[in-house]
Amino acid sequence: MRIVLTGGGTGGHIYPAVAVGKHMLQNDPDTKLLFIGTQNGMESRVVPGQNIPFEAIEITGFRRKLSFENIKTVMRFLKGVQRSKKLLREFKPDVVVGTGGYVCGPVVYAAAKLGIPTFIHEQNAIPGLTNQFLSRYADHIGVSFPESASQFPKAKAASYTGNPVASNVLKAQPGKGLQSLGLPAGTRFALIVGGSRGAKALNESVIEMAPMLSRLAGAHVVFVTGEIYYESTKEKIGASAGNQLTLVPYLHNMAEVLRDATLVVSRSGASSLAEITALGLPSILIPSPNVTNNHQEANARSLVKAGAAELLLEKELSGGKLLSLMEELLGDKARMSAMSAAASKLAVPDSAERIAEALRRLNNERL
């Protein structure tokens, strides 16, 4: 099968597309892939690094307020559609897969106008603007949260596929994460991470709680500061946390460390939650308030409703509150076990295959 993948802007849009492509290749080595993104987006660096052919179009997102810049965006969209049609005619895909981000707009729209089967995937509980627009043209819609399906047109086929990035963490070997951190086998630890670039509010809270970590009943804390915050955070904490805290700027083996974690304190991006539920990890979720439609809070509340996580809003965040909640959970094995079971029930370990089946079906219907 010949497949065009498109998605960009953030890793949450890029990595699901890459995961789908790699799954298709694994099941059929004759699969041909092409990824269409933007030259300035992180996809232009990530995708070639995954050995997937990459082409770029020029497009920007719409501003939510009336702006002359939106007129320019419309012109870029039309130009992007023409460029996409050219690329699609040359590659001749059997199906086009869009995983979100404004770059998907002209690519999936162009495919629909050319009569090429299209599939869009929505990672968040609240659909993004691009996918809402494309839902009118897509042949099939996959969602990561069951409640998202009702937010798309009823006439469209929408299925609960889960998020395909979840399969990555399941391949991680237990014990490798602890070994990479220099921690003894069997160490119970809470992993605190504020996203790939870190989060200022979370760093401030960990600095505040560092002198009080002895309250965690022997559990260790691993804090991923984000590279821009690492030196300042390390300096402010100093020796106040004793040997109970490991600070790292970034984790290149996040899957391995997650696999060994006891509790996770995290933002609630869709990819992070897919990994957390895949591993059945209890979590404390601190949604970023600086995202479109406040979708991270909606993501988090989906897990909270299921009993898999605790919610702590950033406006209520402090070192004392976070530490108390961590202490409460780590000291209650029955509650942690219940949260773990609830998280596992939300997992969709065969997400990539569910999407693959939908793509094969679309291709067969075309034939």
Q: Is 288 annotated as a binding residue?
A: no
| Partners of 2 in beta bridges | 32
Provide the H-helix boundaries in the chain: 11-27, 43-49, 68-91, 104-113, 129-134, 166-170, 176-181, 200-209, 230-237, 254-260, 270-278, 295-305, 319-330, 333-346, 351-366
Count of CB atoms situated within 10 Å of the CB of 59:
24
Count of CB atoms situated within 10 Å of the CB of 75:
10
Count of CB atoms situated within 10 Å of the CB of 256:
21
Q: What is the Cα–Cα distance from 339 to 337, expressed in whole angstroms?
A: 5
Q: Is 194 annotated as a binding residue?
A: no
Helix (H) or strand (E) holding 196: none
Q: Is 196 annotated as a binding residue?
A: yes
Q: Is 50 annotated as a binding residue?
A: no
Name the nearest CA neighbour of 125 among 341, 325, 296: 296
Q: What is the Cα–Cα distance from 265 to 228, expressed in whole angstroms?
A: 19
Instruction: Assign 157 to helix, strand or coil.
Output: strand
Q: Is 12 annotated as a binding residue?
A: yes
Enter the tokens of residue 90. Answer: 């040359």
Put residue 159 in one of left, alpha, beta given phi > 0 → left and psi -120 to 50 → alpha: beta
Q: What is the Cα–Cα distance from 279 to 235, expressed in whole angstroms?
A: 33
Q: Is 101 annotated as a binding residue?
A: no
In this structure, which amino acid lies at residue 88?
A: L
By the 8 A CB rule, do 347 and 277 touch?
yes
Q: Classify burial at 9, counting beta carbons within 10 Å of its beta carbon; exposed 0-12, middle 13-18, buried 19 or more.
A: buried
Pairing of strands 54-56, 140-143: unpaired
- What secondary structure does DSSP assign to 210-267, as a single string? GGGGGGGTT-EEEEE--TTTHHHHHHHHTTTTTTSEEEES--TTHHHHHHH-SEEEE-
Detail the residues annotated as belonging to a binding site: 10-12, 124, 196, 296
Detail the residues annotated as belonging to a binding site for UDP-N-acetyl-alpha-D-glucosamine: 10-12, 124, 196, 296
